[in-house]
Structure 1
Amino acid sequence: MTPKLKRFRVTNFRSVDDSGWVEVDDVTALIGTNESGKTNMLLPLWKLNPAKEGAIHPTSDYPRKYYNKIRHEKPKPVFIEAIFDVGTELARQLADETGMPIDQMREVSMSRRFEGEPVVDFPNATPARDIDQNRALNLLSRAETDLTAMTALKTEEDLKNLALAAIGSAKTKVSGFNEIGPLQLDELISAFGAVKTDNAPKTSTVVPRYLRLSEELEKVKSEISREHPREVESAVNLVLESLPKFVYYSNYGNLDSEIYLPHVIQNMSRADIGAKEQAKARTLKVLFEFVRLQPKEILELGRDFKDPQNRQPTDDEIAAIAEKKKQRSILLQSASTLLTMEFRSWWRQGEYRFRFEADGDHFRIWVSDDKRPEEIELEGRSTGIQWFLSFYLVFLVESADAHQGAILLLDEPGISLHPLAQRDLSEFFDSLAETNQLIYTSHSPFLVDADRLDRARKVYVGEDGTSKISPDLRASDGDITQRGAGYAVHAALGLTVAESLLLGCEPVIVEGPSDQHYLNGIKTLLIASGRLKPGRELVFPPAGGAKGVKAVASILGGRDEELPVALFDSDLQGRNTAKSLREGLYVAEPNLVLEIGSFTGMADSEIEDLAPPELVARELDRWQCGSDVPFAEEMKSGAPIVPQIEAWAMRNKVQFAKPGWKVELAKRVKQRLLVEGAQSQSLSSEILDLWQNLFNAFQAARSSAKASAPSGKVGAN
C-alpha cells in the first residue's frame, strides 16, 4: 500500500494563520471564491515534500503582517504539517527498526519550518519510560521462588542465602519506589552485583539463575531507555524514502498548433526559460513520449538534400530522402491514430480526430470531429479542447512515470471547459485517484460531485482577514465570503436535485417564486383536506417572469418530449405572453396554457388573488406595521389585490424593505395559510373550491394533451 495523506494543517503561510486539521480523501475539492486563499492551502503541501522545485520564497510565502517577526525568528515557525497512513507493510518495517508495536507505527507525520528540511515524527509512538511496580516485583519474586526451591551444594549455601537476601532487599526497595525508571533499575542491578559469584563452582545452579535476574532487569532497562522513533535515523530515512511527493500544477501548458521542432529540442533541455514556455515544453515532451515519437528523429527524417557546393543529389540520394520522408509520414499517421483512439476513451464531448503533419522543421497538429469534418489547426479550436488535450497528456504520461504514487495538487483545473466537460473532468479525477491522491481547487459547481459532498471543503476569508477552511458547507453562515464559498457546493447540489426532482414529476411552469410559494401551500392544504390526490408529484418551477416561461417550457419539453402546463397571471404582460405561446410553441396544445383570471373571475388578477384577501391584508399590515393607515381598512373586495397594495403604499409613503416584496409577502401568507389551514373551519368552501378547480385544471390539461398527442408526443417543433 502506498502511504496516503490523511490530514494536513497549514499555519503561518501567506493568508493562512491556522487552517486547523483538514481531512482529505482520495479526491478532495477546495471550493471558494476568488481571493479566498485556496491556492494558499495547496502551496504549503507542495513545499512540504515537492517532486521538483517548491522552494520557499520569504517575500511571498511569509505572512505579510508577520514578515519582519519571522525574518528574525530562530527557529522559524512550522508552516505545514501532514499526517500519513503508511500501511501495514511499511508499519511493520518501522516496527522492526524501532522496536515499537506496529499499531503505533501506522501513522507518520511530516512537518516543515520555513528553514531546513522536512521533519518526520510518529504521533502515536509512546515509548515506555518506566515500568509498573508489579512487573518489577514479579521478576524478583520468580527469581526468589526459583532459588528457594533449588538444592544448593554445601559450598553454595552461603551464596544462596546472600542471593535471597539481596532479592528480599530489592523487593523492599521496589515497594518504596514511586516510579521505576532506568535509574532505579540501575540501583537494583548494582546491588545484585555486590554478591560475588566468581568463586562459585562451575556446576552451580544458583549462580545462573541469580545472574539471569540481572539480565532480565537489563533487558527491561533497555526497553524503557529506547530512543523515540523520531530519533532512529534508519526509521526516519525509511519514511523519507517512502512518503509520496507532492506535484503542483497551475499552468497546464496548452499545446500550440504549429511547433518549430528545433526550438522544441532545444527547450526540452533548457532550464532558463520562463514558466509558460517551460509548461509548453513539458506538454510537448509528454506528447511525443505518448505517441512514441522523438522530435529529433522526426526532424532528421524530414531533412532535404543540402550540399555546400550546390551539388545536385544522385538518384540514390533522392530515393533515400524519399524513403525517410515516407517513413516519417507513416510514423505520424500511426501516432495520430493512437492519440485519436486513446483520447476518445476519455473525452465525451464529441468524436475528435487528430492528425500530425511535419513540413521541414515545422510540426503541426490538425483537429476535426464528426460534426465538422474539415480540419482546423489545434490553436483554432476552443481553449477547452486545447486544455483538455494538454491536461490529458501530462497526467496520463507523467503520473505513470515521474509522478508515480505522487499526490497531485491541481490549482483551478478546467476553467476554460464547458460545464459538461467539467463534469467529465470530475469523473476523470476518480480514475486518477486509483493511483494518485488528488486535491484540487475550484469555484465551479460542475467540478463539485454532488454525490460526494463529503470530500468538499469550503475555503473563505474570516472576519480577521485570514483564510479559513471548513467541511461545513452551509452557504448561509457568516459573511458574504462564506456564503460565496458555499454557493458552488449548493449550486452543484441544486443541479443534481433539479435533475432528479423532475423525473417522475408533473411540472407546472409559473412566472416567479411568489407563484411557487402560493401554489405549494395550496397543494399541501388540498391534499390534507382530501380534495386533491395527485397521481404524480406536482412541482412549480419558476421561470423568472412571464418572458422566461417559453425558454423553461422548451427545456422541460425537451426532457421528455411533453410540453408542461404553464400558468400565467392575467395582467397585461401575462395575457400577451400566454397568447404568444398558444400561437407558437403550444399551438398544438393551447389548453396547456392557463391564466389566473379564468379561475378567479377577475380581469387583471394575479397569483395573490388565489389567497383569501383578508389574510393577505392582515399579513401585509403585520409586515409593514409603520403605516398610519392599515391596508385592511382601504382594501376593496372583488378587485385584484396587487394594484391596491401598490396604490396604498404610494399614498401612505410605505417603502418595502427590499426588492421582491411580492416574494416576501408570499412566504408570510403561505406560512399563515399552513397554520390556519390546519383548522378545518378557517378556510371557506368558496376558496377551497377555487383551489380545487385550478388543480383539477392542471391535471385535466395534461390528460387531454396526452390523449391527443400522436405517438405519445406533445407539442410542436
Structure 2
Amino acid sequence: MKLIKAEVGKFRSINTDQVVDIDPAVTAFVGMNEAGKTVFLKALHKSLDAMGAEKFKTVDDYPRKDYTGYMKRHAAEPDVATKLTYQLDENEAKELNKLLHVQLKSGFVFSIQHKYNNIKTILLQVDEASAIAQLATTVGISSDAISTVRKAATLREAAEKLGEIERTDIDTAFLTTLQARIKKTDWTNVVQYELWRELDKRIPKFLYFSDYDLLPGKLNLADLAQKVQAAKDDPDNADTHIKPKHKAVLALLRMADVEPTDFTGTTGYEEMKAKIEAVSISLTDQVLEFWKQNEDLEVEVDIKEDIKDESPFNNGPNLYLRIKNRRHRGVSTPFDQRSRGFIWFFSFLVWFDSVQDHLAAPGTEAPSNLILLLDEPGLALHALAQGDFLKYIDTLAEQHQVLYTTHSPFMVHSDRLHQVRMVEDKEKIGTVISANLSGSDERTIFPLQAALGWTVAQNLFIGKRNILVEGPSELTYLQVMSALVEAGGGEGLRQDATIVPVGGLGNVVTFVSLLGANGLKLAILHDYSGSTDQRLDDLIRQKILAQKSVFNVSQYRDIEKLGQNTVATDIEDLFDPAMYIDYFNITYSKQLNGLVLKVSDLPKGDRIVNRIERWLDSKAVKVRPSGGFNHYAVAAKFGATPPKTIAVDVQKRFVALFESLNKAI
C-alpha cells in the first residue's frame, strides 16, 4: 500500500489547502528556510505517528490568525487537518478479494480524513453484491434461504429477511453467524467496515526524524531512569521530562534490549556491556556501508562511573559513546566531538533501527508499512557525503516511502525532478507546495539549478578518457583531422576519447584541479606562447598532473623536431598556410568585399592567426566590429566542408599528435 496523495488543510503556516502528489518511492520537498517544509511533514506525522505520541493540538497547530474564530466551532465542527489517500497494489487487492469476497480492482484507492479533534473519517466505497453472492453459495442452507439471500441488496437486509422465513437448523446457524458479523459494526455497509478493518492493519504509519533527535556523547543512566519514571507518572507532560537526547539514548538501549533501571538493579556489568557492544558492532557495520568519508571508524559504547565529574554524571554509571579512528592508531574521541554530519548520520541509524525493532511483533521482521519523514537530512554532511546519503535514501525506499526536505543542491537527483515538490511562503497566502518548477520563485528553485549545473559539469566528462583543449576550434580541427587521417590509412584519435573544450588555458588548469582526481584519464593539448605555462608547471610539480599528459601544438609543428617545444604556435599552424587562408577567404568573402588574401601578403611571424589579424589592420579591414576575426568561424567552415586531400606534412603532424594523445590516455 502506498500513500499517493496528501492534502493538508489549515495547519500552522499553511493557510489554504495544499494537495500534494506523493511519489511511490521518494518525494523531495525543496524550498528556502522558513518556507514551510517542516510544517508539511509535521502535519503528516501528527496524522498517524507510528510511535503513537503525536496528536493534533489546536493551540499549537491551527493558524494563529484564524484561531479565535475557529475555536468557536471546533467542538461541533472540527476542521480536517489532513486528508491522506492510499492505493493498494495488485497483490493486496487479490488478497482482500479472496478474504472478504469483494471485487477490488488493482489500484483500489481510499482516503482518510484526520480532524483537529483527532477523530478520523474513512472515505471508502465497496459494493456488497459479490459478498452476498458468495453467501448464497454456502453449503447446506435451504433453497428458500438461498433465494432470500440472493434477493437482498445488503447483508443487513439479508439477515432481516432470513429472520422472517421458515428455516432449517443449518439455516438458523447460518443466520446466527451472519448476525454476529453485523453486530460488530454500526456501519450501514457491513462489508465496507470489514474491509476497513483489514485496510487499517496495512496502512503505513509515519516516522519523523530531525536534527533535534541526536545522540549525546554521554548521559547519566540513573538520571535517565528517573526521567523515564517521571514521564510514566505524568504521561500528559512526558515531553517535559524526556528530551530528544534522552529518546535517542533510550533508542540505543532498546536496540540492546536494556532498560535504564537495569543499571541500578542486579544485572551484571559484563552482561550489559556485552549487549551494548553487540549493538556497537552492528552499528559500525551499518555506518561503514554508507559512510564513505572515512571507513576507518569504529563505534565504542562504554558504561562506567565517574565520581569526580559534575552532577548528574557523578551519580552512578554513565553511558559513554565514543568513536575510534583506526587511521590515527585507534585514537578515540567523544561522540559529540565528531563532525556534525557524522553525528546526524549515526543518530539516524540508531533511531531507525530502534523504532523498527520496537514496532516489530515478537519473532517477526521489522515492519515495512512505514513512511519515513526526514527533515533536512544530512544538512551538515560534505557535498559528496550527501550524495552517499542519497544512495542510502534509495536503499530505504526499497522498503519504505521516503519524504524529505532540503535546500541543498547535492540532496536532489537532477535526473528525477518528477520527485521534487517546491515549497514557498507567499505573502498573504502562506505556505504553497507545488510540482510546478517553472512557476516557482527563482530563490526556491536555486538548489535545482545548482544540482543541474553540477550534473552538467560532471557530464562534460562522459568517458574515462578525455582530452582537454582550450576551445571549440580545437575540438573541430581534431575531430575532422582524425577522420581525414584515418581515411588516408593513418591512426586517428581513439574512438572512446572525449574532447572537452574548457574555454581557455586558465580553465584547463581549473578543470584539472577540480576534476582530475576522479579516476579519469586526462591529456591536455594547448597552444604555445613561446614559454611553458606557470600554472601547468605548478600542477606537474605538485603531482596533480603528469608531465607525460601535457602537450602543446608547437611540439608537432616541425616534423624534424617532433615532441620538442619550438616557436609560438596555435593549432592552426599545423595546417598548410595556403589551405588555411583559403578557408579564411571563403568564410569572410562578404566582409572582404572582393579583397583576397594571399600567403605572400602576410607579414612575417610565427602564428598565422596573428599574421592575418595584422594584415587586416594594415588594410583597415574589419570583418567583425571588435576587430580581428572569429577563429571558430573559420574552424566551423573547415568542419562543414573539409578538404578532400591534405598535404603530406600536415598528415604527418596530426598522425604524430594523435599517437601521443592516444598513448597518454
CA distance in 1, matches of 2:351, 2:248: 6
CA distance in 1, matches of 2:88, 2:66: 35
CA distance in 2, matches of 1:342, 1:237: 37
Q: Which of 496, 518, 525 is the matching residue for 1:567?
A: 525
Whether contact under 8 Å (2:27, 2:403) holds in the other structure is yes
Amino acid at match of 2:380: S
Deviation string, structure 1 residues 573-601 (Cα, Å, up to 9, x no partner): 98332444566648973572325897699
CA distance in 2, matches of 1:382, 1:269: 33
Q: Does residue 257 in structure 1 map to residue 203 in structure 2?
A: no
Q: Which of 631, 641, 644 is the matching residue for 1:680?
A: 641
The aligned runs of 1:324-335 (5 Å cut-off) are 327-329=268-270, 331-333=272-274, 335=276
Q: Does residue 6 in structure 1 map to residue 31 in structure 2?
A: no
Equivalent residue pairs, number: 539
Aligned to 1:266: 226
Aligned to 1:364: 320
Deviation string, structure 1 residues 468-499 (Cα, Å, up to 9, x no partner): 332x77xx886524642423653575587467
Q: Which of 445, 467, 483 is the matching residue for 2:432?
A: 467
Deviation string, structure 1 residues 232-260 (Cα, Å, up to 9, x no partner): 55554554454222222223522222212
Q: Which of 448, 452, 461 is the matching residue for 1:486?
A: 448
SS at match of 2:257: coil
Aligned to 2:547: 589
Following TM superposition, by how much is the alpha carbon of 1:502 offset from its aligned partner in structure 2, in angstroms? Answer: 2.9
Whether contact under 8 Å (1:413, 1:442) holds in the other structure is yes
Whether contact under 8 Å (2:273, 2:302) holds in the other structure is yes
Aligned to 1:336: 277
CA distance in 1, matches of 2:62, 2:356: 31
Amino acid at match of 1:370: R
SS at match of 2:302: strand
Following TM superposition, by how much is the alpha carbon of 1:415 offset from its aligned partner in structure 2, in angstroms? Answer: 1.6
**Structure 1 residues 431 and 580, CA gap change in structure 2 (3 angstroms):** closer
Following TM superposition, by how much is the alpha carbon of 1:550 offset from its aligned partner in structure 2, in angstroms? Answer: 5.0
Give TM-score, length-normalised by structure 2. 0.64
Whether contact under 8 Å (1:248, 1:408) holds in the other structure is yes
Following TM superposition, by how much is the alpha carbon of 1:283 offset from its aligned partner in structure 2, in angstroms? Answer: 0.9
The aligned runs of 1:184-333 (5 Å cut-off) are 233=193, 235-236=195-196, 239-240=199-200, 242-271=202-231, 272=237, 278-300=243-265, 327-329=268-270, 331-333=272-274
CA distance in 1, matches of 2:375, 2:252: 22
Q: Does residue 577 in structure 1 map to residue 577 in structure 2?
A: no
Whether contact under 8 Å (1:47, 1:55) holds in the other structure is yes
Aligned to 1:502: 463
Following TM superposition, by how much is the alpha carbon of 1:279 offset from its aligned partner in structure 2, in angstroms? Answer: 1.4
Aligned to 1:28: 27
SS at match of 2:331: coil
**Structure 1 residues 436 and 598, CA gap change in structure 2 (3 angstroms):** same
CA distance in 2, matches of 1:655, 1:277: 74
What RMSD, in angstroms, separates the aligned Cα atoms of the two structures?
5.4
Following TM superposition, by how much is the alpha carbon of 1:686 offset from its aligned partner in structure 2, in angstroms? Answer: 8.9
Q: Does residue 382 in structure 1 map to residue 339 in structure 2?
A: yes
Structure 2: which 5+ runs fail to align?
130-152, 154-185, 232-236, 307-315, 361-366, 559-565, 592-601
SS at match of 1:103: coil
Amino acid at match of 1:356: D
Whether contact under 8 Å (1:82, 1:109) holds in the other structure is yes
The aligned runs of 1:31-180 (5 Å cut-off) are 31-35=30-34, 37-51=36-50, 52-56=52-56, 78=80, 80-86=82-88, 101-103=103-105, 106-113=108-115, 117-122=119-124, 125=126
CA distance in 1, matches of 2:375, 2:355: 17
CA distance in 2, matches of 1:546, 1:392: 46
Give TM-score, length-normalised by structure 1. 0.60
Deviation string, structure 1 residues 71-91 (Cα, Å, up to 9, x no partner): 788857655332212457875
**Structure 1 residues 110 and 340, CA gap change in structure 2 (3 angstroms):** same
Aligned to 1:624: none
**Structure 1 residues 242 and 599, CA gap change in structure 2 (3 angstroms):** same
Amino acid at match of 1:8: A
CA distance in 1, matches of 2:57, 2:210: 17
Whether contact under 8 Å (1:546, 1:574) holds in the other structure is no
SS at match of 1:535: coil
Q: Does residue 440 in structure 1 map to residue 404 in structure 2?
A: yes
CA distance in 2, matches of 1:379, 1:604: 59
Following TM superposition, by how much is the alpha carbon of 1:424 offset from its aligned partner in structure 2, in angstroms? Answer: 3.9
Whether contact under 8 Å (2:47, 2:82) holds in the other structure is yes
**Structure 1 residues 576 and 330, CA gap change in structure 2 (3 angstroms):** same
SS at match of 1:400: helix
CA distance in 2, matches of 1:253, 1:641: 70
CA distance in 1, matches of 2:407, 2:610: 45
Q: Which has the larger radius of gyration?
A: 1
**Structure 1 residues 533 and 10, CA gap change in structure 2 (3 angstroms):** farther
* Higher normalized helix content (fraction of residues): 1
The share of aligned pairs that are identical, in percent, is 19
Amino acid at match of 1:577: R
Whether contact under 8 Å (2:207, 2:371) holds in the other structure is yes
Aligned to 2:136: none
Aligned to 1:416: 380
| Greater displacement, 229-238 / 412-421 | 229-238
CA distance in 2, matches of 1:32, 1:688: 61
Q: Does residue 538 in structure 1 map to residue 494 in structure 2?
A: no
